[in-house]
Amino acid sequence: MSTAVRASLPYGIQSGGPLTALAPMQDVTDLAFMRVIAHYGAPDYYFTEFLRVHGQSHPEKHILRSIDENTTGRPVFAQLIGEDIFHLTRTVDELRDHPIAGIDLNLGCPAPKVYKKNVGGGLLRDPDHVDRILGALRAATPGGLFTVKMRIGFENTDNFDRLLDLINAHHVDLLSVHGRTVREMYRCEVHYDFIARAVARVKCPVLANGNVTSAARAAEILKETGAAGVMIGRHAIRNPWLFRQCREIFSGQPVTRLTLADVREYVERLYRSTWHEGFPERAHVNKMKKYLNFVGQSVDADGAFLHAMRRTETEAQLFAVCDQHLLAEPEREFVPEPYPGVIARPNCETPAAVDGCSLESITA
- Which residues have CB under 8 Å from 18's CB, separation 6+? 12, 218, 222, 227, 228, 229, 230, 246, 250
Q: Residue 21: beta bridge partners?
A: 45, 231
What is the spatial distance between Cα 114 and Cα 127, in angstroms, rounded to a whole number? 17
Q: Rounded to an integer, what is the distance from CA 96 to the centroid of its chain?
A: 23
Provide long-range contacts, Cβ within 8 A and 24+ apart, for 182-185: 182/108, 182/110, 182/115, 182/121, 182/122, 182/124, 182/151, 182/153, 182/154, 182/155, 183/110, 183/154, 183/155, 184/110, 185/110, 185/348, 185/353, 185/356, 185/357
Question: Residue 2 — φ and ψ, nearest 5°?
Answer: -75, 135
Residue 338 is which amino acid?
P
Told to judge if 322 belongs to the known catalytic residues of this protein, a careful annotator would answer no
Q: Which of 109, 246, 348, 357 is catalytic?
A: 109
Q: Are 51 and 81 in contact (CB under 8 A)?
A: yes
Q: Are 197 and 172 in contact (CB under 8 A)?
A: no
> Helices 242-250 and 31-41 meet at what angle, rounded to 10?
40
**Residue 76, CB-side half-sphere exposure with 13 Å CA sphere:** 28
Q: Could you report how far apart the first and last alpha carbons of the chain are, in Å? A: 31
**Residue 231, CB-side half-sphere exposure with 13 Å CA sphere:** 28
Nearest to 1 by CA among 207, 146, 205, 159: 146
What is the spatial distance between Cα 282 and Cα 276, in angstroms, rounded to a whole number? 13
Catalytic residue numbers read 109
